[in-house]
């Protein structure tokens, strides 16, 4: 029961990121919103590890670990989340949640490529079906100002970046605790993003209103802290079955977008979501049965 509740909480929180971002960018440029999120999340995680817990396992990284954290932070936070937040300015919130669920499919493809292994037929089919689902769900939204091809392109590039980050994370033998890894990678990633934020953002357009405050707090504390703690817990129990909870993210994501942003749920939305879920199942089917 604890695992089920944790999985549900993870899916609900993870799927809420796109809607919270859409609210936040109404009060601040996307990259500024992202940097606020990253630094608050990093401060909370590192503050707990070094100031509150003071457990001996929470030590400073060594030279090699700094390098690993910098690479992971750059891929996972600077590139992935930086592009994701930027893309949400030009993309519907529901599409943002749906795209996130394709991450396991891309990881399979990138893992095969990096390891020199020919992708299985089922893996290729899963990628094609998943991408077709994204295209189908996106099609009717391209007719209005809520979504553009530019935004969807940036969004999918961010999915490729996080897949690279996930493959890199899996290939490193980490000796640091998960909380410390996440705390440092999000902080370093935020630092790497600063030059882009300063050069691409209009700071005079920031509105320090309740909408911005609530969005930043939700993204940093609920999503980046609580959501990732739930994810690491699920990974620790069963890495493969943890991916099952990603199946729920598009469902929660489109519900939030409809409920809070009045984004339409059409037959295209339903059909596209079903295609993505089918692609996820095909790509992970063998693992689920082992």
Of 98 and 243, more confident: 98
3-state helix, strand, coil in the chain (%, to 5): 80, 0, 20
Query: What does the pLDDT look like over 167-181, one tens digit per residue?
Result: 888 889 999 998 999
DSSP annotation of 116? T
How far apart, in whole angstroms, are the C-alpha atoms of residue 89 and residue 80?
A: 15
Residues 6+ apart with CB under 8 A from 30: 21, 85, 86, 88, 89, 201
User: What is the average pLDDT value for the chain, to the nearest integer?
Assistant: 87
Whether 12 has a pLDDT exceeding 90, the answer reads yes
Q: By mean pLDDT, which of 35-44, 92-101, 109-118, 226-235 is the weakest?
A: 109-118
For residues 273 and 133, the answer to whether their CB atoms sit within 8 Å is yes
Whether 289 has a pLDDT exceeding 70, the answer reads no
Query: What does the pLDDT look like over 104-133, one tens digit per residue?
Result: 777 777 777 766 667 777 777 877 888 888
Question: In the predicted model, what is the mean pLDDT of residues 255-273?
Answer: 89
- Closest C-alpha to 159, from 105, 200, 113, 116: 105
Residues 6+ apart with CB under 8 A from 103: 159, 162, 163, 166, 246
Q: By mean pLDDT, which of 6-10, 52-56, 176-180 is the weakest?
A: 52-56
């Amino acid at each position: 029961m604890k695992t089920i509740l944790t999985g549900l909480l993870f899916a609900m929180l993870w799927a809420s990121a796109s809607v919270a971002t859409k609210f936040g960018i109404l009060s601040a440029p996307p990259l500024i919103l992202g940097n606020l999120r990253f630094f608050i999340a990093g401060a909370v995680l590192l503050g707990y590890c070094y100031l509150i817990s003071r457990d001996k396992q929470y030590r400073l990284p060594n030279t090699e670990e700094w390098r690993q954290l910098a690479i992971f932070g750059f891929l996972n936070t600077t590139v992935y989340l930086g592009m994701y937040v930027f893309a949400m300015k030009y993309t519907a919130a529901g599409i943002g949640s749906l795209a996130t669920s394709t991450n396991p499919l891309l990881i399979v493809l990138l893992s095969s490529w990096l390891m020199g292994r020919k992708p299985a037929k089922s893996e290729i089919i899963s990628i094609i079906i998943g991408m077709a689902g994204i295209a189908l769900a996106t099609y009717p939204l391209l007719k209005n100002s809520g979504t553009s091809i530019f935004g969807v392109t940036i969004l999918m590039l961010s999915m490729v970046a996080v897949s690279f980050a996930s493959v890199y994370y899996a290939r490193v033998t980490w000796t640091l605790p998960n909380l410390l890894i996440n705390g440092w990678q999000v902080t370093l990633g935020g630092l790497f993003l600063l030059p882009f934020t300063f050069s691409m953002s209009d700071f005079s357009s920031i509105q320090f209103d309740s909408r911005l405050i609530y969005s930043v707090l939700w993204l940093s504390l609920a999503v980046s802290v609580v959501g990732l703690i739930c994810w690491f817990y699920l990974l620790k129990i069963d890495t493969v079955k943890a991916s099952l909870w990603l199946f729920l993210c598009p469902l929660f994501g489109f519900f939030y977008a409809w409920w809070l942003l009045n984004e339409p749920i059409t037959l295209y939305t339903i059909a596209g979501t079903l295609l993505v879920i089918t692609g996820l199942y095909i790509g992970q089917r063998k693992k689920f049965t082992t």
